[in-house]
Amino acid sequence: MKPQVGIVKVRQSVTEAVREAMELADWKSFVPKGAEVALKPNLGFDFFLPGTVTGPWVVEGILQTIKGYVGQIYLVESGQILVNVERALQQTGMADLCRRYDVPWVNMSKGPFRRLKVPNGLVLREVEVPEILLRTTLITVPVMKTHGRTVITGALKNQWGCLRELRHNYHLVLDEALVDVNTLFKPAFAVMDGTVGLEGNGPKSGRPKVADRVLASGDAVALDAIAAKVMGFDPQDIGHIQLCAKQGLGIGDPDQIEVVGEDVSGLDLGFQRGRNNLVAAVEIALRRSFLRGLIFHTPLLSFLALGAILWYYIWYYLINGRRYRDLILSHPFYGTQWKQPG
């Protein structure tokens, strides 16, 4: 049977759109009754910018849909060398959501970990795995956004945050590493936040784009293929999607996927393709140079990271960040939802 991808256009309620998309994709066939569940949103930016991170109302819609059917639910995410995930948790309103729904927050960067071998790994051989992911059913909750290295970052790329902070060492072989990561952390179900996405130079310094959609599927590869298509990209040309399909992790050909819900046969949301921003361009250049060992495997990495963080401060406060933020905060529907906590 063809994998199903549910897609719903948001009208009056995001949480109801989430429920509808999940039911269209038959979520109960993928999430065992009574299972402990780890919800993995994207909290990959700690400057307040809608579109870079998962909206809390999408997570709330999932909670409302699955509570009472599953067992204990956890909200999980890891930090990055350039991102304070605890700060992102507060800024998005996710911390308040956890309190209201009695959902424990787990910062996976703090462990505990178990070291596992990657079966038939393309580039990863052995990695430290957050222990919580070995005893829970994973529901991944990505954002619809572009990425300078991988064209889009969606349900497959969201598992990148299941690795520890030094995952950046695999940026030159990112497509292959994403296959290995999704072999280890294959999500049972995926719900994509396409309410406010991000276009251009993502995953951080892009421009928020209102897309008004929620997508859901038990096949993360299929979800990303359909998401890429409606964003205006050809999934057949996106390396990590096709590599994951080749490795048997899902279906990457839109012609072999059943879309249920909205008719998207002629839908093109026109997302602007991303390029590597200054931080990413400098990192790639250094990784390809004879300096890579000196820069990335010595204390000099800390100085490089400080420089990158400084660039994001300049971009956010002096170039485009706050202007992009204010465009969404003035939106008649999403502006109210994205009102900055505190």
pLDDT value at position 151?
A: 97
pLDDT value at position 296?
A: 85
Q: Say which residues have a Cβ less than 8 Å from residue 121's Cβ, sequence separation at least 6.
A: 180, 183
Ranges under pLDDT 70 in the chain? 165-166, 340-342
pLDDT value at position 237?
A: 96
pLDDT value at position 166?
A: 66
Give 178-195 as a DSSP string. HHHHHHHS--SEEEEEEE
Instruction: Calculate the alpha carbon distances from 131 to 109, 110, 189, 204, 269 in Å.
Output: 11, 11, 19, 28, 38
pLDDT value at position 342?
A: 40
Sorted by where each starts, the structural domains of the chain and their CATH numbers stand as 4-275 (3.40.50.11440)
For 219, the token pair is 């096949």
pLDDT value at position 341?
A: 54
* Terminal Cα distance for the chain, rounded: 48
Dist CA 333 CA 10 (whole Å): 11
pLDDT value at position 233?
A: 98
Q: Say which residues have a Cβ less than 8 Å from residue 57's Cβ, sequence separation at least 6.
A: 14, 15, 18, 195, 337
Q: Say which residues have a Cβ less than 8 Å from residue 93's Cβ, sequence separation at least 6.
A: 56, 341
pLDDT value at position 25?
A: 98
pLDDT value at position 171?
A: 83
Half-sphere exposure of 186 (CA within 13 A, CB side): 16
